[in-house]
Structure 1
Amino acid sequence: MTRAAGLTVVIPAHNEAAYLPRYLPTVLASLTQWEESSGERGEVIVVDNASTDTTAEVAASFGVRVISESGRSIGRVRNSGAAVAGGRRLFFTDADVALPLEAITAAATAMDEGAVGGAIPPLYTPKRLGARLLCAYWDHYRTAHSGAQGVAQFATAVAFNTVGGYRDDLFMSEDIDFFRRLTAHGRATAAPVAILDELFAWFVDHWSGMGDFSCVVAYDGDEPAGFAYSASSPLAAIGGAPPPTSRTTATPPPTCSPE
């Protein structure tokens, strides 16, 4: 008899056949590390959102569960994955994000220690001025309002259902709205919301023509933290550039504030 999942990773995916082979292995590696350390079983659900490519087939080839959601609303897609999730802990990430190996373990630990949820905050560094201005605004907003994007958010299933999940009537910023309501729920129940500043994810740069990667780091207070590369990173095993995995006192990487 298969054990029930203790944690579910939900990945929305619209036409992500080209990205899944490169980034889904980092999710699976992070989940495996948590399974080995916790003795529990996890699951990954890829929600195919009206893809016109082979997203569903590619995802299934990695042995993950694939479901379909035809409604073109990212909030609805995430909610559809959560609705069939077996885990009492939920972790949401995107198909074009590379997770650090410790991500899921750290998120699960935070929830096990009483957090209703949390996030791994990103910092983008695109080339184009318009994108950099948008990033600069987001840097300011996140710092001022403790927001967190859906690149890597997590919540207990109880908290997720209590706050009503993601709004499916928002074309964008549904992740920011969700995190605001999750934070309010945490305050109302005297439970923390964890921002895992010691970790960071890598996000594919769709905006600036930089190639596949845009640097994503965590904040250390109000300044971006320095970083060091690790040869043991998940990407190193699949031919990608290794993401930073630990903070150092080195010179901070460039922010996405405009010059």
Structure 2
Amino acid sequence: MLSVIIPAHNEAAQLPATLMALRQAAGALALDWEVIVVDDASEDGTAEVARVHGAQVLRVEHRQIAATRNAGAQAARGQALLFVDADTSVDAPVLAAAVAALEGGAVGGGARVTMPEAGAWHVRLGEWCFGWLFRFTGIAPGCFLFCTRAAFDAAGGFNQRYYAGEDVAMSRALARIGRFVILREAVRTSARKLQMFTPWEHLRLMLRFALMRRRMLTSRRHLDFWYGRRR
């Protein structure tokens, strides 16, 4: 069984498209699968939307992405785990490629990411930079990361010291266990985080990270980009 785990905080608007795309992809491949939406302290209709679209709902109050992903994994029944963000669309080719990679002996992996709605120059630049960075470093972006249950357990799950960058830590942990792949196929994700912050705010974020390094990722106080009210 493949368990798809979707962490979600106030994602009622984004979830329907994500869940419908997953259902269509899994149906096309005739997979034995389940989908778990981990509703992390949402104040909107996230849970109701998830149930309407056939997902299991697990309510948590972490407001910490690594802990939320781990809670979903703990509730999952599958031997393969796929972590997908609530604003990310997964089609049959990329899902088939992920399953084939695991069946071929990979312990886990990720995929390329595209942002079809990218418009402003700094959004397009961000898409290109992150795409190159993930491919060059062999890091799976958190919006689409898959692994075997055995590898997940061996890695100790997502590192809960991190409020961001947990996908980088998990990718490296899995790569130490076995073959970790970045698929040629791509998933489509929202450009909203790049669009709702100005180029100056992005620059400040990068400068702050250059100064604080890992300390910045272990404190929610410095991570409005991920935990702020803007969505």
Same fold? TM cut 0.5: yes
- Equivalent residue for 1:27? 22
Displacement, 1:77? 0.7
Cα separation, 2, equivalents of 1:93 and 1:79? 13
| Contact map agreement 2:113 2:187 (CA 8 A) in 1 | yes
Query: Does 2:133 match 1:141?
Result: yes
| Contact map agreement 2:112 2:131 (CA 8 A) in 1 | no
The structure that is helix-richer by fraction is 2
Residue by residue, what CA displacement relative to the aligned partner does 1:82-108 show, whole Å, maximum 9, x if unpaired? 001100001110111111122322211
Query: Does 2:107 match 1:150?
Result: no
Counterpart AA for 2:27: T
1:203 pairs with 152, 171, 189, which one?
189
Compute the TM-score of the two structures, normalised by the length of structure 1.
0.69
Q: Report how many aligned residue pairs link the two structures.
A: 194
| Contact map agreement 1:166 1:174 (CA 8 A) in 2 | yes
- Any unmatched runs of 5+ in structure 2? 197-231
Residue by residue, what CA displacement relative to the aligned partner does 1:111-158 show, whole Å, maximum 9, x if unpaired? 111110111121447344554554454344324311120111100000
Q: Map of 1:117-136 to 2, 5 A cutoff?
A: 117-124=108-115, 126-128=118-120, 130-132=122-124, 134-136=126-128
1:17 pairs with 12, 17, 35, which one?
12
Identity %: 35
Q: Map of 1:1-259 to 2, 5 A cutoff?
A: 6-34=1-29, 36=30, 41-124=32-115, 126-128=118-120, 130-132=122-124, 134-186=126-178, 192-197=179-184, 199-206=185-192, 207-208=194-195
Cα separation, 2, equivalents of 1:136 and 1:167? 27
Compute the TM-score of the two structures, normalised by the length of structure 2.
0.77
Q: CA RMSD in A?
A: 1.9
Displacement, 1:184? 1.6
- Equivalent residue for 1:251? none
- Any unmatched runs of 5+ in structure 1? 1-5, 187-191, 210-259
